[in-house]
Amino acid sequence: MTVVDDCVRLLGAHRVRSHPLDLRIFAKDAGVRPGHVIAAVFPETTTEVAAIVAAANHHGVPIVPRGAGTGLAGGAVPVDPGLLVVLTRLNRIEDVDLIARTAWVGPGVINLDLSKHLEPFGFHFAPDPSSQQACTIGGNVGTNAGGPHCLADGTTVAHVLAVELVTADADIITVGGDIPDVPGLDLRAVVVGSEGTLGIVTKALVRLTRNPPDVATLLIGFPTVTDAAAMVSGVIGSGIVPAALEMMDKAMVVAVENFVHAGYPIEAEAVLLVEVTGEEASVGSDVGAIVAVAEANHASSIRVATDDDERALLWKGRKSAFGAVAQTAPDYYLHDTVVPRTKLVEVLDQIYSIGDRYGISMLNVFHAGDGNLHPLVAFDAKEPGALEAVLAAATEMVEVSIAAGGSLSGEHGIGVEKRDLMGLVFSPIDLDAQARIRDAFDQRGLMNPDKVLPTGSRCFDASGNALR
Amino acid sequence: MTGIPSLPRGLADIGSVNGDGVQRFAPRSVDEIVSVVEALKAARVTALPVGAGSTFEDVPPPDVDVVVSASAYAGLIDYQPDDLTVVVRAGTTLGTLAEALEAKGQTAVLPETSPERTIGGVVSSGASGFRRLRYGPTRDRVLGVTLVTGYGKPVKGGGALVKNVTGYDLPRLCTGSHGTLGFIADICLKLWPMQPASRTIEVADVNEARFAIYKPLAVLETPDAVMVMVEGSEASVSDTERVLDGASRTGLLWPDPPSSAVNVSVRVPASSTTSAISVVRGAGAEHFVAQHGIGRVDAGFASLPPGAVEELRSRTAELRGVAIITGWKTADQMPDRWGVNPGSAGISERLTSLFDPAGVFRIGQLPGGL
């Protein structure tokens, strides 16, 4: 019996896919590197997930959980041959409680579907990654996903109160809970963002966020990137934390405008999309303050959306940015470094000059409010040496971000893509502590191995004593 | 008290012996914290990490060989107002921190308690203030830590970045760990701008009020009143005043927390907050402060015999909640502080033993005697 035979016995042949074509499709997520899949399996219940984990353990086969596969860091593909556990069929929304403002949600529920489900009640799920039409809650939990609106609301970890987890030992446990300050260690906080390395999340208790009574969306053009970045600091300095504060550079504005025809100012060197929410009186005063800061920072155009349709159109420009890039080149590579907000200009300048040096075509769209940079390199992977140049430039861009006090990833995760760069941020002592956390959950190392932590992170014996 | 059999010479001026005969260390740097932990580990003794020690003014301290205090490791390390981040040493008092932040019109939204408490104590105990309904719990503002682990290494997690998914979330894991993973030395916090205007408004119906207004700071109930706290621009708080139409006062008039002989923190699903109030009233509470929308009721009792604690806990369990003892100043033996043990299939046990193989800080501060 192989692990695939066991899975067929547990789920039936129709929920175990191992045809060569399936294996090729599932060997990729939205990242650039393929992996090796033994089979993709589609459980429908927590019990089935636990049975699959037990079977994989029995055969000593690595397990990789997967949602919609929109992740960009290679987190959802096995490096060495492994079993892919696709959780899209665990897609129920249960126990919506409008007093507690919580709901239990399956990992396969699509992010935007959850907010649409809550819309009639006047609530939504706050994290809103650009991929929200496709990405799943399970993937959001795995990467601690963000999105434009996490500037004021926080990332996924602030919106997940508990998770049901199938552990590496195939136990089913709940970490966190629906009471405040659950006694004991906050294992929930490390499971969120652990990229499937600590177990498989089969259900999440999410916090529901009230839809704001009033919203204003502004699109502001600037003659220089420096002016736009100064505006970001100016807004925060004025005592306003907007709901969203997004920046696009000229290359991206042109690509987006060609694509959605939203009336973006293509003559501007940089554009800020600013959104403020709240009660009518506060939104009104915030808009006034933001316009004043924009004028003080040499804004070349200020447009305030007059109705919901215009708001939606301005956001469509932002949210379709990555699709719009397809007109530039067939492939793209997207960065996700994060730097202190006050270092934006300095780091952007360095990133532009790295791009020039490698002769690569780069567009920028990013979460300026929280310093989360997304330089996007458009290229054609069929050109010899193109991917290598893109990856070499990527490493340099990460290095300048870290030198400015930044970090590897703001919201996409480490996966396999940035695993070997972890040593730029963490000392061997720090990585050893990270390996201890992982070991506490997974002693055999079969849960999404080869991800997040570089080889050699672990420097302790089974009792936790240092090896050197 | 066992004392430390072989105290390294260099540690002599960090340590002292208290009136109670318990040896006390007050390291002044991360290096000194590391030296102290190394010495404790080598001597195989147990230690209680404390900030100002205020938690143990209310409940009896655990039986340990030594106390390691953050009191001599205090002050701001790096404050970046434009980034809305600050890095502080664990022994910094809430008063000192608030003063520095207020000068720039900012706040770390820490508990509205004594300014003498330390940030290390707040983070270690995982305490949050009333404003969590609007700003989330303290845990959501701990962006980075330097933790001196039980095995004596200074480990960094997170950083001075408001958004960061690089590695496992050690800062949140440390928050509320009650010292069981090591000694929390440095803490980076996310800040918020202070708002110009605020109001405390009395209301009649809790749920009506919660749905009528957007993002209040707190909705609190005491034996005397139900009150909504809001902040924002003058125009927006005036608007809220009109909508709620109750007796309104300027400012945030936080109720005094219970300070009875026995204090219990009842925590239930937020939709059962009103039921939890009935439970503490039924148990004879002389005072309580309930946080609607959060599911927490802090109650004070003149006395609570062991049988009554059991009864309160079983009524709370019917609401799928817990009742935690936060104050015990009676002659009776204190029952288990937590009264519950949320199992984790051995993961919490493995985690604490991997972070503290010698058991220096594993002194039973968490549920299940961890």
The Cα of A108 is separated from the nearest Cα of chain B by a number of Å equal to 22
Of the listed ranges A155-159, B22-26, B45-49, the least confidently predicted one is B22-26
Predicted pLDDT at B10 = 66
pLDDT in tens, A37-85: 999 999 999 999 999 999 999 999 999 999 999 999 999 999 999 999 9
pLDDT in tens, B297-311: 999 999 998 899 999
The Cα of B147 is separated from the nearest Cα of chain A by a number of Å equal to 10
> Count of domains in chain B?
3
What rounded mean pLDDT belongs to chain B?
93
Top residue of A96, A191, A240, A279 to mutate, by most chain B CBs within 10 Å, is A279
Name the residue ranges covered by the structural domains of chain A.
3-86, 93-210, 214-323, 328-420
Question: CB distance from A248 to chain B under 8 Å?
Answer: no
Higher pLDDT, B40 or B12: B40
Please identify among residues 417-436 of chain A the ones whose CB lies closer than 8 Å to any CB of chain B.
Answer: 418, 422, 425-427, 429-430, 432-434, 436
Q: Is residue B187 part of a domain?
A: yes
Roughly how many angstroms between the first and final C-alpha of chain B, as a whole number?
A: 21
Higher pLDDT, B286 or B56: B286
- For chain B, what percent of residues have pLDDT higher than 70? 97
Instruction: For residue B111, list chain A residues with Cβ-Cβ distance below 8 A.
Output: none
Can you give the CATH number for the domain in which B276 is found? Answer: 3.30.70
Q: Is residue B204 part of a domain?
A: yes
Local structure of B203: helix, strand or coil: coil
Beta carbons of B36 and B55 less than 8 angstroms apart: no
Q: Is residue B30 part of a domain?
A: no
The answer to whether residues B117 and B176 belong to one domain is yes
- A313 vs A263: CA distance, rounded Å: 9
- B206 vs B211: CA distance, rounded Å: 9
pLDDT in tens, B321-363: 999 999 999 988 999 999 998 889 899 999 999 999 999 999 9
Q: Phi and psi of A208, rounded to 5°?
A: -100, 135
Predicted pLDDT at A450 = 94
Q: What is the mean pLDDT of residues A214-227?
A: 96
Helices of type H across chain B: 30-43, 55-58, 94-102, 119-125, 132-135, 170-174, 206-212, 234-244, 273-282, 306-318, 347-355
Q: CATH classification of A328-420, choosing from 3.50.50.60, 3.40.605.10, 3.30.70.2740, 3.30.360.10?
A: 3.30.70.2740
Q: Is residue B188 part of a domain?
A: yes
Question: CB distance from A269 to chain B under 8 Å?
Answer: no
Q: What is the mean pLDDT of residues B217-232?
A: 96
The Cα of A416 is separated from the nearest Cα of chain B by a number of Å equal to 12
- A251 vs B48: CA distance, rounded Å: 57
Which structure tokens are listed for B45?
């003794």
Q: What torsion, rounded to 10 degrees, do the Cα atoms B352, B357, B358, B360 define?
A: -30
The answer to whether residues B125 and B137 belong to one domain is yes
Angstrom CA distances, B280 to A80, B162, B225, B247, B330, stand at: 56, 39, 16, 27, 19
Of the listed ranges A90-99, A337-346, B7-16, B97-106, the least confidently predicted one is B7-16
Predicted pLDDT at B1 = 43
pLDDT in tens, A267-300: 999 999 999 999 888 899 999 999 999 999 999 9
What rounded mean pLDDT belongs to chain A?
94
pLDDT tier at B8, thresholds 50, 70, 90: low
Local structure of A91: helix, strand or coil: coil
DSSP state of B166: S
Asked if the domains at A93-210 and A214-323 fall in one CATH topology, the answer is: no
Packing angle, helices A344-358 and A386-403, rounded to 10: 160
Higher pLDDT, A325 or B322: B322
pLDDT tier at A329, thresholds 50, 70, 90: confident
Contact B368 A184 (CB under 8 A): yes
According to CATH, what is the number of the domain A214-323? Answer: 3.30.70.2190
Can you list the positions of beta strands (E) in A72-149? 82-86, 93-97, 102-105, 123-124
Q: What torsion, rounded to 10 degrees, do the Cα atoms B211, B212, B216, B220 define?
A: -70
pLDDT in tens, B256-309: 999 999 999 999 999 999 999 999 999 999 999 999 999 999 999 999 988 999
Please identify among residues 16-55 of chain A the ones whose CB lies closer than 8 Å to any CB of chain B.
Answer: none
Of the listed ranges A332-341, B57-66, B176-185, B348-357, the least confidently predicted one is B57-66
pLDDT in tens, A138-172: 999 999 999 999 999 999 999 999 999 999 999 99
Predicted pLDDT at B7 = 58
Instruction: For residue B173, list chain A residues with Cβ-Cβ distance below 8 A.
Output: 185-187, 189-190, 437
Q: Is residue B100 part of a domain?
A: yes
ipTM value, please give it: 0.96
The answer to whether residues B235 and B318 belong to one domain is no
The answer to whether residues B206 and B166 belong to one domain is no
Closest partner residue to A433 among B137, B170, B172, by Cβ?
B170
Residue of B nearest to A170 (CA): B345
- A95 vs A98: CA distance, rounded Å: 9
Does the pLDDT of residue B4 top 80, yes or no? no
Burial label for A15, CB within 10 Å (0-12, 13-18, 19+), is middle
The answer to whether residues B215 and B282 belong to one domain is no
Which structure tokens are listed for B1?
């008290």
Instruction: For residue B340, list chain A residues with Cβ-Cβ distance below 8 A.
Output: 183
- A194 vs A201: CA distance, rounded Å: 10
Which structure tokens are listed for A143?
């990467």
Which residue's entry shows tokens 């601690």?
A: A144
Please provide the DSSP assignment of A25-87 as one string.
HHT--SSS----EEEEE---SHHHHHHHHHHHHHHT--EEEESSS--SSSTTS-SSSEEEEE-
Local structure of B147: helix, strand or coil: strand
According to CATH, what is the number of the domain A3-86? Answer: 3.30.43.10
Beta carbons of A157 and A26 less than 8 angstroms apart: no
Top residue of A185, A374, A432 to mutate, by most chain B CBs within 10 Å, is A185
The answer to whether residues B236 and B267 belong to one domain is no
Q: What is the mean pLDDT of residues B167-176?
A: 98
Q: Is residue B164 part of a domain?
A: yes
Spacing of C-alpha B197 from chain mean position: 27
The answer to whether residues B186 and B93 belong to one domain is yes
- For chain A, what percent of residues have pLDDT higher than 70? 100
The helix (H) or strand (E) run that includes residue A394 is helix A386-403
Which structure tokens are listed for B366?
């968490």
Does the pLDDT of residue A467 top 90, yes or no? no
Q: Is residue B158 part of a domain?
A: yes
The Cα of A256 is separated from the nearest Cα of chain B by a number of Å equal to 26
Please identify among residues 148-177 of chain A the ones whose CB lies closer than 8 Å to any CB of chain B.
Answer: 150, 154-155, 157-158, 167, 169, 171, 173, 175, 177
CATH architecture entry for A93-210: 2-Layer Sandwich (3.30)
pLDDT in tens, A7-48: 999 999 999 999 999 999 999 999 888 999 999 999 999 999
DSSP state of B116: T
Domain range for B211: 197-250
Q: Is residue B287 part of a domain?
A: yes
Of the listed ranges A91-100, A256-265, B13-22, the least confidently predicted one is B13-22
Instruction: For residue B269, list chain A residues with Cβ-Cβ distance below 8 A.
Output: 97, 100, 102, 178-179
Angstrom CA distances, A324 to A105, A181, B14, stand at: 32, 44, 62
